[in-house]
Amino acid sequence: MTNLQEAFSPDSFRQNAHTLVDLLADYLESAQNQTITSVIPYQEPDESLAFWQTDYEQGAGNVEDFFRNVIEKSTHLHHPRYMGHQVTPPLPITAIASMFSGLLNNGMAVYEMGLVSNPLERILSELLANKIGFDENASGLLTSGGTLANLTALLAARAAKTDVWEEGTSEKLAVMVSEEAHYCIDRAARIMGMGSEGIIKVSTNEKLQIRTDLLEKYYNEATEKGFRVICIVGSACSTSTGSYDNLAEIGHFAHKHQIWFHVDGAHGGAVIFSEKYKHKVKGIAQADSVVIDWHKMLMTPALATALIFKRDEDAFKTFQQKAQYLWANQHSKDWFNSGKRTFECTKLMMSLKIYSILKAHGEQIFTENVEYLHGLAEKFANLVKARQNFELAIEPESNIVCFRLVSLDSNLNDLNSSIRKQLLQEGNFYIVQTTLKENVYLRVSLMNPLTTEADLNALLDEIERIGNQISGK
Ligand SMILES: *Cc1c(COP(=O)(O)O)cnc(C)c1O
């Protein structure tokens, strides 16, 4: 056998795969029962680089050792004390689906290269459209992450409101958004040439929601300065604190001024799966477009983001382009040719991963996850409030909680930053920090449905212990 033939050998694939799946199952077990050495085996970047450079210099070798190292040196999202960023510990079935997507590698852009994944993508889009409350005119797509999905939505908004795509323009376009919105909205507006003045950041109230009472004022000021506001973005929820904007009022404002209403529900849009929590996105059905990340609260591996349009035709206006070798007619609205509506040409078979969840566990699993994580945040907030030395930044509205240790004789920003740094170095918990109105807060995103109240109490104990150590008590 030649080298290439050997590399493609079904027998060695079978053998490797069994061994490596066992390795992953062992990881799952030790992470979930907390016997793995740490949640985050933090190393300084240069130290990590040196390790991998040495590994690289050894050339081809034992793949099992390589993957063992990968597991050992990665952040362990399946550990119940992983509470850091808003990335989900994926359901194990989705890892299998990822393997299928990896090996089958159907590139999606045209129907012929996505015979299965394009129909599945349509079914999943219709599921979300239905939950949002859109009618049968809606349609959607999957794309590589919330950042790209939000850019795509703003491009669609611009295509709907102007002729920039064909004609170019010197008109000053603008987008309105809360000052607490994810940075990718700002980035998208700048990519689109709106500049810093074209991204109008509306201030927030004490719950860090967009101040809808100021929308008219900001709008009028922008118009007087010669800007044409084409879109307003509602955050559902915001990233730092998990605050849901008042979508119903934003929708009303957008309708009045005939501007595009986009909802960035990358994180919290998932509440549409819960009767108990979907009131948080009341008014979402007024939106022209909605983004929801499947890889945040919906247990799918990154990246898998849905962008859903109220009107199917809007989706096709975003990128009107001729590509003779891909599709015959650029104007026909063929849902089955993925690349017509997405930034990507070749794309991962994302729908396969999501659909595998529905097949293995049913839709109810999404509801359970969303409700468990929101409920857990409420419990955590109560634990924080019950302890004298702690305070909440604000009452949590989602599964994100910001809080800090308070001690009369310390600089609280330094104290809390040092605590977070030490937690990272010790690696027994993974949490992050954020700054709100110049105050440093510790921040947890409760993403892991196997996290319990006992883990949360252990976290608070640990923070208190480190805090005492730092302030020399
Ligand atoms: C996470 C997040 C994004 C960015 O999404 P990615 O999938 O990380 O690109 C955008 N907006 C909000 C509100 C988010 O929470």
Atom of ligand 1 nearest to the CA of 181: 13
From CA 147, how far away is CA 185, in angstroms rounded? 8
Rounded distance from Cα 130 to ligand 1 centre (Å): 22
Tell me what pLDDT residue 123 has: 97
Q: Tell whether the torsion through CA atoms of 242, 248, 252 and 258 is positive or negative.
A: positive
The answer to whether the CB of 379 falls within 8 A of the CB of 456 is yes
Tell me what pLDDT residue 327 has: 63
- pTM comes to 0.96
Atom of ligand 1 nearest to the CA of 235: 13
Rounded distance from Cα 83 to ligand 1 centre (Å): 17
Tell me what pLDDT residue 248 has: 98
Atom of ligand 1 nearest to the CA of 237: 13
Residues paired with 432 in a beta bridge: 443
| Single-letter residue type at 165 | W
Rounded distance from Cα 233 to ligand 1 centre (Å): 13
Each residue of 184-231: pLDDT tens digit? 999 999 999 999 999 999 999 999 999 999 999 999 999 999 999 999
| Single-letter residue type at 113 | M
13 to each of 17, 20, 24, 224, how far by Cα in Å?
A: 6, 10, 16, 65
Tell me what pLDDT residue 330 has: 66
The pair phi, psi for residue 252, each rounded to 5°, is -65, -45
Rounded distance from Cα 237 to ligand 1 centre (Å): 10
Give me the count of residues in the chain. 473
The answer to whether the CB of 282 falls within 8 A of the CB of 165 is no
Rounded distance from Cα 324 to ligand 1 centre (Å): 34
Confidence of residue 325 (pLDDT cuts 50, 70, 90): low
From CA 289, how far away is CA 177, in angstroms rounded? 15
By most ligand atoms within 8 Å of CB, the mutation choice from 85, 147, 284, 343 for ligand 1 is: 147
DSSP for 356-422, please give it: HHHHHH-THHHHHHHHHHHHHHHHHHHHHHHSTTEEESS--SSSEEEEEE--TTS-HHHHHHHHHHH
Which protein residues are within 6 Å of ligand 1, measured from CB?
Answer: 86, 145-147, 150, 182, 184, 235, 239, 264, 266-267, 293, 305
Rounded distance from Cα 238 to ligand 1 centre (Å): 9
By most ligand atoms within 8 Å of CB, the mutation choice from 142, 187, 210, 293 for ligand 1 is: 293
Atom of ligand 1 nearest to the CA of 238: 13
Rounded distance from Cα 246 to ligand 1 centre (Å): 19
Rounded distance from Cα 146 to ligand 1 centre (Å): 5
Q: Tell whether the torsion through CA atoms of 264, 266, 268 and 274 is positive or negative.
A: positive
- Using DSSP's 3-state secondary structure scheme, residue 49 falls into helix
Each residue of 372-395: pLDDT tens digit? 999 999 999 999 999 999 999 999
Tell me what pLDDT residue 337 has: 86
As a whole number, mean pLDDT of residues 20-35 equals 98
From CA 261, how far away is CA 254, in angstroms rounded? 6
Rounded distance from Cα 329 to ligand 1 centre (Å): 33
From CA 213, how far away is CA 211, in angstroms rounded? 5
* Domains in the chain: ranges and CATH: 101-361 (3.40.640.10), 364-471 (3.90.1150.10)
Each residue of 58-104: pLDDT tens digit? 999 899 999 999 999 999 999 999 999 999 999 999 999 999 999 99
353 to each of 29, 65, 111, how far by Cα in Å?
A: 22, 27, 18
Tell me what pLDDT residue 437 has: 87
For 393-424, letters b (16+ CB in 10 Å) and e give: bbebbbbbbbbbbebeebebeebbebbbebbb
Confidence of residue 335 (pLDDT cuts 50, 70, 90): confident
Residues paired with 201 in a beta bridge: 177
User: From atom 6 of ligand 1, which residue's Cα is the shortest distance away?
Assistant: 146
Query: Which of 160, 156, 175, 183 is CA-nearest to residue 233?
Result: 175
Rounded distance from Cα 231 to ligand 1 centre (Å): 18
By most ligand atoms within 8 Å of CB, the mutation choice from 86, 152, 180, 184 for ligand 1 is: 184
Each residue of 247-298: pLDDT tens digit? 999 999 999 999 999 999 999 999 999 999 999 999 999 999 999 999 999 9
Mean pLDDT of the chain: 95
Query: Which of 100, 141, 104, 103 is CA-nearest to residue 337?
Result: 141
User: From atom 5 of ligand 1, which residue's Cα is the shortest distance away?
Assistant: 146
Atom of ligand 1 nearest to the CA of 184: 10
Residues paired with 228 in a beta bridge: 173
User: From atom 3 of ligand 1, which residue's Cα is the shortest distance away?
Assistant: 146
pLDDT value at 430 more than 90: yes
